[in-house]
């Protein structure tokens, strides 16, 4: 069932109303300054729309993992300043939603005014999804907007609990976009439908492979994950990152895959993980003891790129190698370029996963993709077919 969207609400439901809006302002902060504003930018369309419609915008978010209470290192105060600059308008900071004056502040905001609440994780009730805390947040809004896709896989007070207490409870523009692109890729993919999977550990992606196998035409696997499959094929993997307790599972997956799983034919290897270490390019059955796989080799990159360019839907989760350490970024870059080219040729290309999104941005092709998900863990769980509590709790399209 599609979820009710902010865009579907009539102006009268917004004008003068207090919109408690859950955003993902979990941004990197150094010396009291926001060092990467990507997530703030991602929330701006919803914030601007609400302001234009005359709503009073009360924003809430978590930031980092503060332990057991308020901690100035995890304050959202620097984000309030960054947001003021983005909006060119004052942002009222509310240090505590439970303080007696908080409700009054929200009611006294001018139409189109913006307030930001302090880090929701300063309250233990946030992660415990404590109904008492959810009620406190609910007192600060006349409607609820969830634009924090990246937190939607967590049933917390500001993502799930509060959505049951304020009606209407709708998705913001970013959330709507995420659900549309990830959802369409899974439910009605143009074929061939190809998944490109990589990253460090197969253990974190088993559910993903299982969920995608029946849906896709091909799964291309790179990254360290491929090494566990190599091991399952009886190949020498040297000092590569292999998960010994997943080898049997990898073997079973290969047997069940009906030929859908494509592994790299070769790898770029080194004796240590360093940009200056001597490297070799070898076939996958020629990995010597003492060497580790840090990237797919060039022929594999070309082969993967060819598969991607034949796709009409391609979803990508997990880099092909240790892309943070050049020259082991080449396979990942090759796939990023192939995804961009496929999108240009009319394919739907979707990137999910924090490191994959970073790799695509680094390759300079993020804006050429159909969609780059802002939610790492959330996009993974969504692609695994798991219901996201923060989405489930929103009104259905034909809601009250
Ligand atoms: P995402 O965040 O996109 O879901 P993951 O977190 O699963 O991706 O994996 C990303 C990590 O995988 C990166 O830090 C990268 O260095 C690592 N990785 C990829 N290939 C290898 C490899 N061959 N050996 C060790 N680490 C690898
Ligand atoms: Mg990651």
Ligand 1 pocket test: pick from 281, 328, 355, 374 the residue with the most ligand atoms within 8 Å of its Cβ.
355
Query: Which one from 201, 215, 280, 312 is the annotated catalytic residue?
Result: 201
CATH number at residue 217: 3.40.50.1260
d(CA 158, CA 135): 10
Nearest Cα residue to 393 out of 152, 84, 122, 95:
152
Residue that terminates a domain, selected from 175, 208, 237 = 175
What is the Cα–Cα distance from 313 to 215, expressed in whole angstroms? 11
Give the number of domains in the chain: 2
Query: What was the pLDDT predicted at 98?
Result: 96
Q: Do residues 238 and 353 share a domain?
A: yes
Is any ligand 1 atom within 6 A of the Cβ of residue 355?
Answer: yes
Tokens of 53: 């419609």
Of 16, 8, 6, 22, whose CA–CA distance to 112 is shortest? 16
pTM of the model: 0.89
**In 255-339, at which residue ranges do the beta strands (DSSP E only) sit?**
261-262, 266-270, 279-283, 292-296, 313-317
| Closest Cα to atom 24 of ligand 1 | 224
Q: Is 199 in the pocket of ligand 1 (CB under 6 A)?
A: yes
Q: Is the CB of 331 under 6 A from ligand 1?
A: no
Q: Do 263 and 154 reside in the same domain of the chain?
A: no
Catalytic residue chosen out of the listed positions 39, 154, 205, 334? 39
Indicate if ligand 1 lies below 6 Å from the C-beta of 358.
no
Q: Do the domain assignments include residue 72?
A: yes
Pick the catalytic residue from 112, 139, 310, 377. Answer: 377
Annotated active-site residue 33? The verdict is no
Residue 353 CB–ligand 1 contact under 6 Å = yes
Q: Which atom of ligand 1 is nearest to the CA of 201?
A: 7
Cis-peptide, bond into residue 317, ω within 30° of zero: no
Indicate the Cα dihedral angle 175, 165, 66, 360, nearest 10°. 0
Point out the least confidently predicted range of 49-63, 199-213, 289-303, 315-329.
Answer: 199-213
**Together in a domain, 146 and 193:** no
354 is catalytic: yes
Cα distance between residue 325 and residue 396, in whole Å:
45
Domain boundary among the residues 118, 147, 175 is at 175
In a domain, 283, yes or no: yes
Residue 248 belongs to a domain: yes
Q: 299 with 323, same domain?
A: yes
Q: Over the stretch 341-370, which tens digit does the pLDDT of each residue have?
A: 999 999 999 999 889 999 999 999 999 999
Q: Would you say residue 400 has pLDDT above 70?
A: no
Q: 246 and 119 share a domain?
A: no
Q: Percent of the chain beyond pLDDT 90?
A: 92
- Going by alpha carbons, the residue nearest to atom 5 of ligand 1 is 199
Residue 51 designated active-site = no
Assess whether pLDDT exceeds 90 at residue 1: no
For 73-85, the three-class secondary structure string (H helix, E strand, C coil) is: HHCCHHHHHHHHH
- Same domain? For 21 and 150 the reply is yes
Question: Two tokens at 46?
Answer: 């919803």
193 and 79 share a domain? no
Q: Hey, which residues does 5 pair with through a beta bridge? A: 171
Does 161 have pLDDT greater than 70? yes
Atom of ligand 1 nearest to the CA of 324: 16
Q: Is the CB of 17 under 6 A from ligand 1?
A: no
**Across residues 20-44, what is the average pLDDT?**
94
| C-alpha–C-alpha distance, residues 56 and 17, integer Å | 6
At 375, is the pLDDT very low, low, confident or very high (cuts 50, 70, 90)? confident
pLDDT at 204 over 90: no
Are residues 132 and 251 located together in one domain of the fold? no
| Residue 180 maps to a domain | no
pLDDT reported for residue 310: 97
Task: Tell me how long the chain is.
Answer: 400
* Residue numbers of the domain that contains 360: 189-383
Residue 226 CA: which ligand is closest? 1
- Is residue 64 part of the annotated active site? The answer reads no
**pLDDT above 60 (res 399):** no
CA distance 364 to 340: 10
Average pLDDT of the residues of the chain: 95
| Residue 353 lies inside a defined structural domain of this protein | yes
| Residue 117 tokens, joined | 């609440």
Residue 344's Cβ-count burial label (10 Å; 0-12, 13-18, 19+) is exposed
Residue 126 CB–ligand 1 contact under 6 Å: no
Q: Are residues 255 and 222 in the same domain?
A: yes
**pLDDT-based confidence at residue 203 (cuts at 50, 70, 90):** confident
DSSP state for residue 81 in the 8-state scheme = H
User: Is residue 332 predicted with pLDDT exceeding 90?
Assistant: yes
Whether the CB of 321 sits within 6 Å of ligand 1: yes
Phi-psi label, residue 208: left if phi above 0, alpha if psi -120 to 50, beta otherwise: alpha
Strands 18-22 and 33-34: unpaired
Could you tell me if residue 251 is inside a domain?
A: yes
d(Cα 245, Cα 359) in Å, to the nearest integer?
29
* C-alpha torsion 229→232→233→239, nearest 10: 70
Segment 158-171 shows an average pLDDT of: 98
Atom 10 in ligand 1: residue holding the nearest Cα? 199
pLDDT of residue 337: 97
pLDDT grade, residue 143 (50/70/90)? very high
- One domain, residues 136 and 225: no
Q: Are residues 140 and 199 in the same domain?
A: no
Confirm whether 325 is domain-assigned: yes
What is the number of the ligand 1 atom nearest to the C-alpha of 222? 20
Instruction: Write the residue with the smallest CA distance to atom 9 of ligand 1.
Output: 199
* Predicted confidence (pLDDT) per residue in 38-93, tens digit: 899 999 999 999 999 999 999 999 999 998 799 999 999 999 999 999 999 999 99
Query: 350 alpha carbon to ligand 2 midpoint, in Å?
Result: 16
Of 119, 144, 175, which marks where a domain is finished?
175
- Residue 368: the pLDDT is 97
Whether residue 375 has its Cβ less than 6 Å from ligand 1:
no
Ligand positioned closest to the Cα atom of 330: 1
Q: Is residue 391 part of a domain?
A: no
The per-residue DSSP string of 33-45 comes to: EES--HHHHHHHH
* Whether residue 291 is found in the same domain as residue 151: no
Helix or strand or coil: residue 91? strand
Torsion sign over Cα 103, 105, 107, 111: negative
Residue bearing the CA closest to ligand 1, atom 16 = 322
- Residue 38: the pLDDT is 87
Q: Best substitution site from 182, 318, 320, 354 to test ligand 1's pocket, by max atoms within 8 Å of Cβ?
A: 318
């Amino acid at each position: 069932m599609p979820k009710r969207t902010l865009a579907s609400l009539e102006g009268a439901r917004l004008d003068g109303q207090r919109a408690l809006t859950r955003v993902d302002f979990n941004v990197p902060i150094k010396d009291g300054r926001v060092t990467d504003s990507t997530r703030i930018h991602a929330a701006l369309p919803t914030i601007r729309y609400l302001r234009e419609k005359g709503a009073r915008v009360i924003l809430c978010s978590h930031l980092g993992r503060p332990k057991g209470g308020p901690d100035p290192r995890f304050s959202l105060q620097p984000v309030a300043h960054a947001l003021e600059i983005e909006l060119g308008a004052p942002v009222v900071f509310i240090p505590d939603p439970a303080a007696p004056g908080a409700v009054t502040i929200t009611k006294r905001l001018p139409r189109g005014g913006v307030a930001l609440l302090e880090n929701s994780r300063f309250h233990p009730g946030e992660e415990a999804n404590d109904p008492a805390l959810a009620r406190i947040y609910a007192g600060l809004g006349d409607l609820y907007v969830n634009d924090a896709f990246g937190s939607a896989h967590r049933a917390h007070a500001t993502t799930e609990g509060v959505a049951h207490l304020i009606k209407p409870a709708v998705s913001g523009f970013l959330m709507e976009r995420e659900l549309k692109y990830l959802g369409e890729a899974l439910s009605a993919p143009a074929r061939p439908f190809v998944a490109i999977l990589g990253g460090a550990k197969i253990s974190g992606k088993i559910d993903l492979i299982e969920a995608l196998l029946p849906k896709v035409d091909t799964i291309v696997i790179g990254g360290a994950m491929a090494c566990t499959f190599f091991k399952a094929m009886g190949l020498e993997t040297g000092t590569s990152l292999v998960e010994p307790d997943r080898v049997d599972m990898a073997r079973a997956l290969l047997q069940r895959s009906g030929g859908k799983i494509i592994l790299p034919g070769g790898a770029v290897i080194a004796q240590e993980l360093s940009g200056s270490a001597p490297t070799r390019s070898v076939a996958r059955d020629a990995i010597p003891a003492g060497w580790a796989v840090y990237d797919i080799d060039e022929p594999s990159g070309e082969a993967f790129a060819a598969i991607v360019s034949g796709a009409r839907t391609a979803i990508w989760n997990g880099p092909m190698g240790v892309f943070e350490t050049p020259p082991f970024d080449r396979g990942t870059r090759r796939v990023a370029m192939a995804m961009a080219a496929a999108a240009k040729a009319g394919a739907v290309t979707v990137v999910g996963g924090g490191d994959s999104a970073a790799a695509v941005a680094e390759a300079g092709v993020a804006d050429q993709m159909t969609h780059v998900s802002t939610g790492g863990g959330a996009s993974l769980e969504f692609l695994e077919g798991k219901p996201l509590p923060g989405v489930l709790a929103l009104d259905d399209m034909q809601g009250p």
